[in-house]
Structure 1
Amino acid sequence: MDERQLRILRELGELGSVTAVAEALLVTPSAISQQLRLLQRSIHVPLTERDGRRLVLTPAGQALAGAAIDVETALARARHTVDDFVGRPDGVVTLAAFNSAAAAFAPLLLSAFSAPGSPRLALADEDVAQDRFPRLTRDYDLVLAHRLDHAPAWPRTVSVTTLLREPLDVAMPAGHPLAAKRHLLPHDVADHPWICVHDGFPLMATIDAIAAAANRRLDIVHRVNEFAVVAEVVAAGGGLALMPRWTARPHPAVVLRPLSGVHAGRRIDVLHRPERTARRAVVTVLTELRRAAATIRER
């Protein structure tokens, strides 16, 4: 049993197939299979089993894959200690964020880390379907991700810090008849055209909940993920939309109204692999993200 074999087992549990693991680790599927066979020889209980055409982890394999996290964390700490990487306050920290979080958090972080000796941020925008956010932790130190409050929890293979629990409001043109109401119910909004995100993205579950509460299907006219574009379409009379209360930039021709009768809110979380916080620079950025979240909430 060695570090590479344990990592392959961990990746198999996360990615779900030998082919996907091979692509992620830039090796051939046969090489992955060989390492899994070598690992199995050192363990007296089966680690994998067939589920149709897929190779999946047995309960013992899942347990060992979980232990692999601790192994990788310990080895990461050892390597960082050797090269003095752990203690460097000015190291590069890679941060991925979905669009509205990037727009809200990036200016605050860049301002906070403008002085010499601060962590050096390398930012990237990654607006992906909810189930793909955990995979990004393989490529980035920190990942800003969002999910609805009642959605399934993130997998235990990643560490999670919640930054915001943000309400989702109904956006409409300033002169819209519904703008006169202080609170809206599903039946108030169900007969209007809608602008929604693409299928697979977190807000769609709330759209489905509105339709269910109103007992009718919503008329989804436009599919747009970027909230800045959504605001422009709303302002032009293209329909109603769900908008986050704090992280979306205000539009002078758009008003937001709270929605009652369904659970309309999302979490903005930081995801990372546990070993990433062995680095001082990553911990510093994580701490600053919490401060930035408080600033965004109080605006």
Structure 2
Amino acid sequence: MGEWDLRRLRVLRAVDECGTVTGAAERLRLSPSAVSQQVSALARQLGAPMLEPYGRRVRLTPAARLVLRHAELVFGQLERAEAELAGYLHGEAGEVRVGAFATAIAGLLVPAIARLRESAPRLAVRVVEAEAAGAYGLLAAGEVDLALSLAVQPGGGDPRFVQSVLLSDPLDVALPPGHPLAGAPGLRLADLAAEPWIYGAAGPWREITLAACADAGFVPERAHTAADWTAILAMVGAGLGVALVPRLASARRGGGAVVRALPADLPTRRVVAAVRTGTQGTPPLRRVLDALAEVAATVQPD
């Protein structure tokens, strides 16, 4: 039977709706002979007549109606595909999988998704929580389309990825309540060189803490190891040590810790969005990146 010709099927539908070859020709902007040729070719291809006389008009044969019933399903599916493609090309439809660490999910990704639900409700964003150190691995493996991580990761020099900085997140210091320096004016990071510190055993946050303290002229003595902010602040609040805390995580402060800014030192971490090279122009991905940038601009700390 060969491949189905959608053009011939559309001509057949027009003849059915108009009731005459001439009417179908006018609708399709074809000559009557061209319409007749298309219908005859379809009949030869399918091995069954498509039209029969009906007074001064024509009508579809039972075989043609069977064919057209199935063709209508195809036409409907194609129309839905065209609409979905149009939405995709405008960044209004599709799916984007985002791997992000916890504070980026709470502070950046969730507000961005809320915006996209209003502006692009057919665009689905799937969230995968991942440590900042593991986000690039998910991206490289194709398990996510976009990774929110920290600039200390090696992705900045990796040609497989394209990075953009979303914000510079200041680092504050968390002190136990009643600490002699908790209310001291002009607090400097170097003032805490002799304190017991709390930070992770590995990963970007460890590197950020070590780098900030190195800039202040000392190596922090790690008394306790933790990566979760609730746990870290609880330990600080209990007097077990001090810790650097990103301001983006300020909403999760607790445990009685006193959090102080360090305006003289200005330690920061850079939160970045990374995508695989070559995908950065994909409309849905571009739409999510733009929403993240908009949210970052509103939460950019002073």
Q: With structure 2 as the length reference, what TM-score do the two structures score?
A: 0.61
Q: What number of residue pairs does the alignment pair up?
A: 215
* Matching residue of 2:195: 192
1:125 aligns with 2:123: no
Any unmatched runs of 5+ in structure 2? 1-80
Note the C-alpha offset of 1:87: 4.4
Note the C-alpha offset of 1:234: 1.5
* Matching residue of 2:280: 277
1:107 aligns with 2:122: no
* Matching residue of 1:143: 147
Cα-to-partner distance string for 1:113-154 (whole Å, 9 max, x where unaligned): 33463421100111043xx543322321110011359x8934
Overall identity of the aligned pairs, in %:
26
* Matching residue of 1:236: 238
Q: Contact conserved, 1:197 with 1:204, CA < 8 A, in 2?
A: no
CA RMSD of aligned residues (A): 3.1
Using the TM superposition, name which of 223-232 and 157-166 deviates more: 223-232
The structure whose RCO (Cα within 8 Å, separation 6+) is larger is 1
SS state of the match for residue 273, structure 2?
A: strand
User: Counterpart of 1:197 in structure 2: which amino acid?
Assistant: G
CA distance in structure 1 between the aligned counterparts of 2:263 and 2:155, rounded to whole angstroms: 22
* Matching residue of 1:21: none
Q: Contact conserved, 2:196 with 2:242, CA < 8 A, in 1?
A: yes
Q: Contact conserved, 1:182 with 1:257, CA < 8 A, in 2?
A: no
Cα-to-partner distance string for 1:233-254 (whole Å, 9 max, x where unaligned): 2122221001112344252522
SS state of the match for residue 108, structure 1?
A: helix
User: Counterpart of 1:219 in structure 2: which amino acid?
Assistant: E
User: Counterpart of 1:226 in structure 2: which amino acid?
Assistant: D
CA distance in structure 1 between the aligned counterparts of 2:280 and 2:151, rounded to whole angstroms: 23
1:289 aligns with 2:292: yes
Q: Contact conserved, 1:91 with 1:120, CA < 8 A, in 2?
A: yes
The verdict on how the C-alpha distance between 1:86 and 1:277 changes in structure 2, with shifts beyond 3 A counting, is farther
Note the C-alpha offset of 1:158: 0.8
* Matching residue of 1:159: 162
Q: With structure 1 as the length reference, what TM-score do the two structures score?
A: 0.62
User: Counterpart of 1:249 in structure 2: which amino acid?
Assistant: A
User: Counterpart of 2:223 in structure 1: which amino acid?
Assistant: V
Q: Contact conserved, 2:132 with 2:150, CA < 8 A, in 1?
A: no
SS state of the match for residue 243, structure 1?
A: strand
Note the C-alpha offset of 1:261: 7.4
Larger radius of gyration: 2
